[in-house]
Amino acid sequence: MNVITRHWELKLLALGFSVALWLFVMTSERSELILAAPIEFEGLPAGLTMTSDRPDSVDIQVHALRGSLSRLTPDQIKVRISLSGATSGEMALRVLPEHVIVPYGITVVRVNPSRLRLMLEASTAPSAAVLPRKR
């Protein structure tokens, strides 16, 4: 008998156990990861502009199964902050884990920095409705 086909039942059983063990480890082990997430500001009231340096990203710490984190891509994570109701002047915003958009099964543990300072001023550009028409 050939060495490869001898005791094929036991070899198949060993292969099945190893696949089951690998699946168990990959789906039960939780891990944490720190990533940079881009910030999207939305709802800036008309007539206001952001004059301070606009932060591009914040660091977030996420917690999930190792398999979920291995499939995570940078474009799946973003921080969305609403500026609706903002007025001119300096404003301090809290960045909470609820502001972070992540795929299902991933939990945001921490955001750093958790506070952002923005300066909003009235726009100096004249409105198109106010400009006189050229003849």
**pLDDT higher than threshold 70 for residue 110:** yes
Task: Name the residue type at position 79.
Answer: V
pTM for this model (two decimals)? 0.64
The topology (CATH level 3) of 29-122 is RNA Polymerase Alpha Subunit; Chain A, domain 2 (2.170.120)
Phi, psi dihedral angles at 31 (to 5 degrees)? -145, 165
In this predicted structure, what is the pLDDT of residue 80? 92
Placement of tokens 């199964």 in the chain: 65
Asked whether the predicted pLDDT for residue 134 surpasses 50, the reply is: no
Mean pLDDT of 87-101: 88
Q: What is the pLDDT of residues 4-51, one digit of tens each?
A: 778 888 999 999 999 999 888 777 778 888 999 999 988 888 888 887
Residue 19 pLDDT: 94
Q: Any idea what the Cα angle at residue 12 is, between residues 8 and 15, rounded to 5°?
A: 140
Q: Which amino acid makes up residue 124?
A: T
- Quote the pLDDT of residue 127: 47
Question: Which is it for strands 57-65 and 107-112: parallel, antiparallel or unpaired?
Answer: antiparallel
The mean pLDDT value for 97-103 works out to 92
The pLDDT score that the predictor gives to residue 126 is: 52
